[in-house]
Structure formats: C-alpha cells, structure tokens
C-alpha cells in the first residue's frame, strides 16, 4: 500500500541501480511500488537495467509486478525527457496542446511518453494533469494544465490516457478534486479551495468524472482543503468525505486511489507521517505516496490495524484493487 523512493526503500542517499541491497530491503518488506526522480535516472542503459532488475526482484518475491512509477507530464515536469542523455522528445507543456484545441495532439503526447517510458521499464505515469486552470494566477499548476475550459480539459485528459494505455503504461489523473482554482502551492503548506460540491461538479470534477467513465486505473488525490464540502480544513487526501463519498460514491470510481506525495508541507505542517497514513487509509485511500518517514508511516498503519483503528476489511479492499491492476500488467 506504499509507493516510495528507492532511497526510502534502501536507506541509501542516492540510488541508481537495483542490486543486492535493494533485493534484501524489498524481500524483507515488499512495497506496492517505487517512484523514481530525475536523480535516479541517468541514461537509457542504466535506467533500463535498474528497472528490469527491480521488476525481477518484485516478481520473485510477490509473484506480481511492482508499480514502477514516475512524474512524466511533459513540459516542465519531465524526469526523463528533460535529461538529454535519454534522447527522447519532450512533448511540451499541456497548455500548448490545450490551446491548439485538437485532442489528437493529447493522444499523440500520451503515445510518445508511453513509448519511451515502457521501453525503459516504467508501468505507471503520474499524468495527465486533470486540473482545470480557473485561476490564471495559479503558478503551481500553470502550464501543466490543458486550460480553463472543463470540457476541453476532460477530452484532452481522456485522450492522453488512451495514448499512454496504448503503450501499456497506466496513467494517473491528478490532482483530485482539482487544484487549478487555488492560489497557493501544497508543496509549501495548506491550500484551500472555497467552492461547494455543486460548483466542483460543474468545473473541477468534470475531467475526473470523464476519466472515471473511461476506466482510469489510478486517481491521485491532492492535499487541498475544500471546507464547504468537508466541513473543516482536512486535506482531500485525508478526507473520507472527498475520497469515499465524492470520488467513490458520487463519481462511481472503483480503481486505485493514491495520495499526492505525503512529504509536502500541506501534510507535514499539521500531521506526523503515521497520523497522515492512518487518516488516508481510513478515508478510503489505497496507496500512500512518499510518506515523510516511511518507517513511521508503515509502523503506524500496522499498529492501527492491530488495535482496530483500521479494519482488516478496509485493508483488504485496497489490496484487492491493487492486485487487480497488477494482474492487468502481466
């Protein structure tokens, strides 16, 4: 139920291979997946070898593939394409694709990204960005969004997902319930979206709804607070109202819910790693991405199951969803 960095898995400060240390660490505590940053990815040969070895370790230990994931949106967020050593095309900012108004271009971007990610050994991409940019002053999302028209963004997101999927890469739409209308950055601290559920359904949630209807396998939940919906400032990623009521029940989503990185200020400023993990799982989240302290988060979840704070049924639901997607990858 965790997706962590290779550094968090091994305890090393910088990881660019998957050898005996990785094998020992993974065998003692297999995680659901790993997320790789630019520092882990040096060249085509090195990355392919690292990911192939990692996948072999996972298959040998669990009989199921690990989610080997990356933030590869294109444009400013491109862990692979931004590195000239890979020699791949950066598809550019989604704002430019959105402005062109042709959904085929979003599909082509998905195919391009999916092709090189799959060749390297990745199977999950934290993209496309489904945020509708309703606040032009929003710098955290900015050019990462397809634009300000909800129905156009929904079309683009769906097409990009299809493009990724055509190459065997699973996309994750983000950042539910939509961060395009806020002004702060959840990397730094708490961010609030002052809208009602009705308003969200008309704009922010439109691309997510369409992605759900088209069978998306991953939805990434952001850390923004929506007090008009939740009743307080609990971040969406830790809110049962947002995850279970809105995303699962209202939007009808049955796939994997993963948090945005849990080492962001919007979480760490208020919650410890174990508090955040327990709240997220009780909210209905399936996977915790990059907890501030993996050991603390893991032990906190374990303790919560042992003392009944989290039911075994709640864990089983998540494991079932995770295994279902992993079986589709084989």
As a whole number, mean pLDDT of residues 194-222 equals: 98
Question: Residue 121: is its pLDDT beyond 90?
Answer: yes
158: alpha, beta or left? (left if phi > 0; alpha if psi -120 to 50)? alpha
Q: What is the pLDDT of residues 133-144, one digit of tens each?
A: 999 999 999 999
Backbone angles phi, psi at 133, to 5 degrees: -80, 80
Give me the CATH code for the 2-329 domain, please. 3.20.20.300
* Greatest pairwise CA separation for the chain in angstroms: 54
Residue 307, number of CB atoms within 10 A of its CB:
8
Backbone angles phi, psi at 53, to 5 degrees: -60, -45
As a whole number, mean pLDDT of residues 310-320 equals: 98
DSSP assignment of 32-73: SEEEE-GGG---HHHHHHHHHHHHHHHHHHHSS--EEEE-EE
Residue 104, number of CB atoms within 10 A of its CB:
11
Note if 223 is an active site residue: no
Residue with tokens 């009808």: 252
The mean predicted confidence, pLDDT, of the chain is 97
Nearest to 290 by CA among 21, 31, 57, 22: 31
The predicted structure's pLDDT at residue 102: 97
The predicted structure's pLDDT at residue 254: 97
Q: What is the pLDDT of residues 48-88, one digit of tens each?
A: 999 999 999 999 999 999 999 999 999 999 999 999 999 99
Spatial contact of 156 and 89, defined as CB atoms under 8 Å apart: no
The predicted structure's pLDDT at residue 330: 81
As a whole number, mean pLDDT of residues 218-229 equals: 98
Can you give the pTM of this predicted structure?
Answer: 0.98
The predicted structure's pLDDT at residue 190: 86
Question: Cis before residue 128, ω within 30 degrees of 0?
Answer: yes
Note if 260 is an active site residue: yes
Q: Which residue in 260, 293, 307, 316 is the catalytic one?
A: 260
Parse the chain into domains and list their residue ranges: 2-329
Q: What is the pLDDT of residues 147-199, one digit of tens each?
A: 999 999 999 999 999 999 999 999 999 999 999 999 988 889 889 999 999 99
Q: Which residue in 187, 232, 274, 307 is the catalytic one?
A: 187
As a whole number, mean pLDDT of residues 318-327 equals: 98
What residue spans of the chain are helical by DSSP H?
A: 6-10, 20-28, 44-62, 94-100, 103-120, 150-166, 197-202, 206-213, 227-230, 240, 265-268, 273-283, 294-306, 312-329
């Amino acid at each position: 139920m965790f997706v962590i960095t290779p550094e968090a898995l091994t305890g090393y400060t910088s990881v660019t291979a998957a050898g005996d240390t990785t094998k020992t660490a993974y065998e003692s505590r297999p995680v659901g997946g790993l997320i790789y940053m630019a520092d882990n990815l040096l060249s085509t040969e090195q990355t392919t070898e690292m990911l192939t070895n990692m996948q072999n370790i996972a298959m040998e230990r669990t009989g199921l593939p690990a989610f080997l994931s990356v933030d590869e949106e294109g444009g400013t967020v491109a862990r692979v394409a931004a590195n000239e050593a890979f020699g791949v095309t950066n598809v550019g900012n989604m704002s430019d694709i959105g402005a062109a108004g042709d959904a085929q271009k979003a599909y082509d971007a998905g195919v391009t990204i999916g092709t090189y990610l799959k060749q390297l050994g990745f199977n999950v991409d934290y993209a496309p960005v489904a945020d509708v940019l309703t606040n032009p002053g929003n710098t955290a999302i900015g050019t990462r969004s397809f634009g300000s028209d909800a129905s156009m963004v929904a079309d683009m997101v769906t097409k990009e997902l299809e493009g990724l999927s055509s190459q065997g890469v699973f996309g994750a739409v983000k950042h539910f319930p939509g961060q395009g209308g806020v002004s702060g950055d959840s990397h730094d601290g708490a961010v609030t979206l002052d809208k009602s559920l009705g308003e969200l359904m008309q704009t922010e949630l439109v691309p997510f709804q369409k992605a759900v209807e088209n069978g998306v396998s991953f939805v990434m939940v952001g850390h923004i607070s929506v007090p008009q919906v939740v009743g307080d400032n609990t971040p969406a990623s830790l809110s049962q109202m947002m995850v279970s009521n809105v995303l699962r029940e209202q939007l009808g989503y049955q796939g994997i819910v993963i948090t945005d990185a849990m080492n962001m200020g919007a979480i760490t400023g208020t919650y410890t790693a174990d508090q955040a993990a327990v709240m997220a799982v009780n909210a209905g989240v399936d996977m915790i991405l990059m907890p501030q302290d993996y050991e603390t988060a893991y032990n906190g979840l374990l303790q919560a199951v042992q003392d009944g704070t989290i039911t075994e049924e709640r864990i089983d639901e998540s494991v079932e969803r995770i295994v279902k997607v992993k079986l589709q990858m084989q």
